[in-house]
Structure 1
Amino acid sequence: MRKKHVMSIVLTSLLITVLSGCGTASKTTTSAAETKAPVSSAKAEEPKGKSTTLRIGYQKYGTVNFLKANGELEKVLKEKGITIQWTEFPGGPQLLEAMNVGSIDVGHTGEAPPIFAQAAGTPLVYLGHEPASPASEAILIPEKSEIKSVAELKGKKVALNKGSNVHYLLVKQLEKAGLKYEDIQVVFLPPADARAAFEKGSVDAWVIWDPFFSAAETSAKAKILADGKDSVANHEFYLASRSYAESNKETIKTFLDQLAKVDIWSKDHPKELAETLSPQLGIDVPSLLRAANRRAYGIQPIDETLINEQQKIADTFFKLGLIPKEIKVKEAVLPATK
């Protein structure tokens, strides 16, 4: 037990050294709580009025992870009497389902999840977004696959996380190749299960985002059949439940301000970032460094151009029958940011 305790102290010291050497605070306040998805599907009571807790949903990569690692948000909010609860999700759809049932207040996803969620009645609002990172998602094939083009996916099994950002990538790539969505066999699997199916040969291709994408390249020798360049934008969005955003504007502003700060640091320190996140995410440093170097940084407000881009995706999904009804994306934007 003493040996384990000493080892724990050593590992903690190493993480603090990495973060402090980068000019970023590393202390995580004791007020922060962390849980793991899945969450209950029962409707939770949404916070009314100002809340003393900020419940953040996050995935296995993105600026929110960097924010969690440096501990600055806990420090700032603690001074205001607000604690944080972190919950990890395998993908954007699962994260927004938790928001729908009132289990989290804010989170981050790609382009498609908020569209599926809005169509399902989730009371969400867009807060901001990262610049386009089209090279951060791709259609992968096994190292020894004989498939040479997207057109050759006709009749093949393609795995992806239903309703995730890569769903739109697949649609656009099939369109470019002259194929219809129904020309392939779509297999809906979350990232971990999709990776297993991909390596076993149970599926012919896998549509996935970073860092799962970079990890598959590094450890599974997966090949890129097509990435998002010249077909999709692939924005990362920050979202909140409408009730929380309307009642906790100051906390939301603090959240976005701290995201912006850590975003700037991350852009300039990709290696340190990868080394910091590796033990937290359970993904090797080379894979995280590859992912860090091909994404864009710099939080931007929601504007008409972005709303129109999201609307185009929503209209495409409706025409394909992937969402049950037409939606107006602008209805999920707070008046101050329209």
Structure 2
Amino acid sequence: MKTPRPVLFAAALLATVTVAACGSSAGSAKSSADAGTDVVLRLPDPGNSGFLAKGKKDGSLDRALAAVHAKVAWTGSAGAFAPAAQALSADQLDFAQGSITSAVAALAQKPGFKLFAQNAPDAVGEGILVKNGSPVTTVRDLVGKKVACSQGGTSEYLLLKALEKNGIPADQVERVYLRPDQTAGVFNSGQVDAWATWNTFSTPEIANSGAHFLVNGKDVGSDNYAVWAVRNGFADKNPAVVAAFYRYLHENGLQEKADPAGYLNVVTDSGPTAVTPAEKEVAVNVTRQGATADVITDADLVRFGTVAQFFADQKVTKSLIDVKPYVLDVSKLPGGGQ
């Protein structure tokens, strides 16, 4: 799940839609050198908010890519990273964004992608939500309670980090595994006592449903970077396109961070994908404190390794995943770096 991050403050997105819509009908991206035509870069549709949504609407992304003879084909929806990782490995998608926690889990499954960019961990937009007025006022109050989370990614990581920091054995809290798009109703009906989640889902809950963070990413000492992944075959054939796309992510992320409100409701200000006025206030605060896409440094790799070790220790993964072999140094690509 994972802008600044290109956060999509839309209604909950079905992860299964991503896989279905990223099918073979989109076709494989071809090398311009081989085909004599523009390289087609397949991206999940960015929805209604964020700099990619703006880049789709105003054509700025295609203009940036035209310099390296590439163009975008928007396909599917920007949902959970797990199905996107499968689509990358199956040559049904070329780029996708997720979290390092979900990437670590995906890297245990014979991946067909590499990580080429990172956004620093979100300190304020992700964490463990509880309802206003809940008797759960500290992490220790979660003992014996039910917490909704998605398995093997950001949600489970945040919950386990909070428990570890407070010296609480993980088995003293019941994890209720749900897809993120299925969780709001369960949470709001009181069937679970808390919800570990990220900004796509926390923003509407905080703004509209009377919820607040029990603890956020900063409180738990999160190393949960957002990361961008590229399909191996695409990167091998089109390194200059990867570099150009990275530069667009970096530069436009900085612009969104400077003016978050200008990147909300890019397509429409009404309907189910629109950010409400209350959500806008929360979203602007999160984006303003966020980070832009940047190269993956040795220091970042150390923190990626910390996440991988934590997941191995917590038995989320069956073994320790070495992330380093799956990282692409974008600064060494033709035209790479800032």
TM-score, normalised via structure 1 length:
0.80
Amino acid at match of 1:71: G
3-state SS in 2 of match to 1:55: strand
CA distance in 2, matches of 1:124, 1:54: 14
Distance of 2:274 and 2:292 partners within structure 1: 25
> Which residue in the other structure is 2:121 paired with?
132
Q: What pairs up with 1:191-210 in 2 under 5 angstroms?
A: 191-210=180-199
The answer as to whether partners of 1:43 and 1:101 remain within 8 angstroms in 2 is no
| 1:39 matched to 2:20 | yes
Provide, for residues 151-207 of structure 1, a one-character-per-residue CA deviation record: whole Å limited to 9, x for no partner.
111121111222332322111101112112222111122222111110111111101
Aligned equivalents of 1:38 and 1:316: distance in 2?
29
Match of 1:306 among 280, 285, 300: 300
Percent of aligned pairs with the same amino acid: 22
Gaps of 5+ in 2: 1-15, 33-37, 333-338
Equivalent position to 2:286, from 294, 297, 322: 294
Which ranges of structure 1 fall in alignment gaps of 5 or more residues?
1-34
Change (3 A) 1:305 1:198: same
Change (3 A) 1:81 1:66: closer
User: How far, CA to CA, are the matches of 2:45 and 2:99 in structure 1?
Assistant: 12
CA distance in 1, matches of 2:29, 2:325: 21
Q: Tell me which of the two structures has the higher relative contact order, counting C-alpha pairs closer than 8 angstroms and 6 or more residues apart.
A: 2
For residue 234 of structure 1, give the secondary structure of its aligned residue in structure 2. Answer: coil
- Specify the code of the residue in structure 2 equivalent to 1:199: N
Give distance in 1, aligned partners of 2:46 and 2:278.
Answer: 19
Which string of whole-angstrom CA distances, capped at 9 and with x for unpartnered residues, describes residues 90-130 of structure 1? 32223222223221110111221110110111122111112
Q: Distance in 1 between matches of 2:119 and 2:273?
A: 21
Identify the residue that residue 54 of structure 1 maps to in structure 2: 41
Specify the alignment match of 1:21 in structure 2: none
> Which residue of structure 2 lines up, in the alignment, with residue 267 of structure 1?
257
> CA separation in 2, counterparts of 1:66 and 1:125?
26
Q: Bigger CA drift: 67-76 or 276-285?
A: 276-285
- Indicate conservation of the 8 Å contact 1:53/1:82, yes or no: yes
Q: Which residue pairs with 1:29 in the alignment?
A: none
SS in 1 for 2:213: strand
Residue in 2 that maps onto 1:15? none
**Aligned 8 A contact 1:59 1:108 in 2:** no
In 2: Cα distance, 1:178 partner to 1:321 partner: 17
Distance, in Å, in 2 between the alignment partners of 1:94 and 1:259 is: 22
Distance apart, 1:330 and its partner CA: 0.4
Aligned counterparts, 1:98-247, within 5 A? 98-230=87-219, 231-247=221-237
Q: Mean Cα displacement is larger for which, 161-170 or 305-314?
A: 161-170
Q: CA deviation at 1:301?
A: 0.7
Q: Secondary structure at the match of 1:229?
A: helix
SS of 1:147's equivalent? coil
State how 1:60-79 maps to structure 2 within 5 Å.
63-78=51-66
SS in 2 for 1:95: helix
Could you tell me whether the CA contact under 8 Å between 1:74 and 1:84 is conserved in 2? no
Per the alignment, do residues 255 and 41 of structure 1 end up closer, same or farther by CA in structure 2, a change over 3 Å counting?
Answer: closer
Q: Is the 8 A contact 1:147 1:153 kept in 2?
A: yes
2:18 and 2:78 in contact (8 A); partners too: yes
Q: CA RMSD in A?
A: 2.8
Residues 202 and 273 of structure 1, relative CA distance in 2, 3 Å threshold: same
Deviation of residue 49 (structure 1)?
4.7
Q: Which residue of 2 aligns with 1:251?
A: 241
Could you give the per-residue CA deviations for residues 70-107 of structure 1, whole angstroms, max 9, x where no partner exists? 43112333562534223213322232222232211101
Q: Is the 8 A contact 1:165 1:234 kept in 2?
A: yes
Structure 2 CA distance for partners of 1:192 and 1:307, relative to 1, 3 Å: same
CA distance in 1 between partners of 2:267 and 2:135 (Å): 35
- Post-superposition Cα deviations, 1:266-291, rounded to whole Å, max 9, x if no partner, equal 12212222243664833324314422
Q: Tell me the TM-score normalized by structure 2.
A: 0.80
SS at match of 1:283: coil
